[in-house]
Amino acid sequence: MSLPSFNVSLNTLVVLISLLWFLNIISEAAPTYRFHYCSNETTFTPNSTYQSNLNLLLSSLSSNATNQSGFYNTTVGQNPSNIVYGLFLCRGDVTTEVCHDCVATAIRNRVQQNCSMGKVAVIWYDECMLRYSNQSFFSIMDEDPRQYVSDNQSMPEVERFNKLLATMIDDLVTQATSAQPNAKKFATKEANFSCIANAVQPGMKSIHFTGSYHHHHHLQLQPGSVTRTKNGKSQTSLVTVIAIVTPIAVSVLLLSMLYCCHSRKRRKKYKAKEENAANEITTLESLIFDLAKLKAATNKFSDDNKLGKGGFGEVYKGTLPDGQEIAVKRLSRSSRQGVEEFKNEVAVLAKLQHRNLVRLLGFCLEGEEKLLVYEYVPNKSLDYFLFVVTCLQNMQYMDDTL
């Protein structure tokens, strides 16, 4: 079965690259939108200084959404009427890539959420929170507005549960706020509520300006993040494995296909060279004359058989045993032409076919003798037999002197 053509391979590469691009897109899930708040009490006019400052602030937030802390706040502007305050906060268990994608999505979608002209806005996703305002809110506890999402499941021992929950959240606040400046503003804790543990369902989420907290009977980490096994060792999720392995596998496949195509071309080229070399060898072998046979045909290169002398040797007339008349050019022993050069010229002469050129019948290369055997044409001048070889010898001489 023959190998596929390079065109087919190129089409396959395009398909594989498209597949790789698609897998990279779906490797990270889109941020999950939850809620937004946009104040229409204070708005800015298009192309105003405030809008320019807001655009600079949002660009700065997006650029810094790849830092390891998952948190960043900044201010743009000097005039109190045009100053903009902003921040983002990503969940502590998401990767920097997910954090950046969430912040960028929040910035991009604020127009769809009717927050495009308001000076105050806050947008919540499961993975991050984005907020900006014309008033400073840094390090200020702000509980309104707030949004509750519950599952409507009945909760036995509500008072006891709420007390345990309040204590746990207070501890979490202390733990999260006491983190180092570059650490994530994130904390988790597990509380034992064993007597009703089986009855507790995934419960309420509370979202307010300052941040958000979720409480469940277990913590559900972001897909794609590092989880913990029972032995306490970290293991990479399936999505992360696919995102890492797929590009490597596709790259190896592409390189393998390119290597196969290149190797196939090299094999074809090498095979063609071998065939040409074999044809030339076959041609040369069929043109070899025996020195003794040529001596007998020319009466041992007798002066009586000499037709003349050229710049590179003498020409003798001879007769083969079958009666065919030949002209033998005996190259001068002082010629600087080597054996391989001589064979190359014989191969060239054997291929020449022209009505004004005498036909080469063969050659002889024994010891120091270099002989060319031509078809004898009566009533032709000596130049007719010497023209081609003399030209080739002159070309060789010019090459040697350059």
| Annotated binding residues for ATP | 329
User: Distance (Å, rounded) from C-alpha 187 to C-alpha 175?
Assistant: 6
The answer to whether residues 227 and 241 touch, using CB atoms and an 8 Å cutoff, is no
The answer to whether residues 291 and 371 touch, using CB atoms and an 8 Å cutoff, is yes
Q: What are phi and psi of 76, to 5 degrees?
A: -130, 130
User: Distance (Å, rounded) from C-alpha 94 to C-alpha 66?
Assistant: 11
Query: Is the preceding peptide bond at 145 cis, omega within 30 degrees of 0?
Result: yes
| Annotated binding residues | 329
204, HSE (Cβ side, Cα atoms, 13 Å): 12
CA distances 268 to 136, 157, 392, Å, are 74, 83, 32
Find tokens 């991009």 and name the residue.
Answer: 108
Q: What are phi and psi of 151, to 5 degrees?
A: -105, 5
Q: Which of 12, 17, 8 is nearest to 250 (CA)?
A: 17
N-terminal to C-terminal alpha carbon distance within the chain: 51
- Give 45's DSSP letter: -
CB atoms within 10 A of CB 305: 17
The answer to whether residues 90 and 128 touch, using CB atoms and an 8 Å cutoff, is yes
Q: Which of 369, 350, 348, 368 is nearest to 360 (CA)?
A: 350
Host H or E run for residue 56: helix 49-63
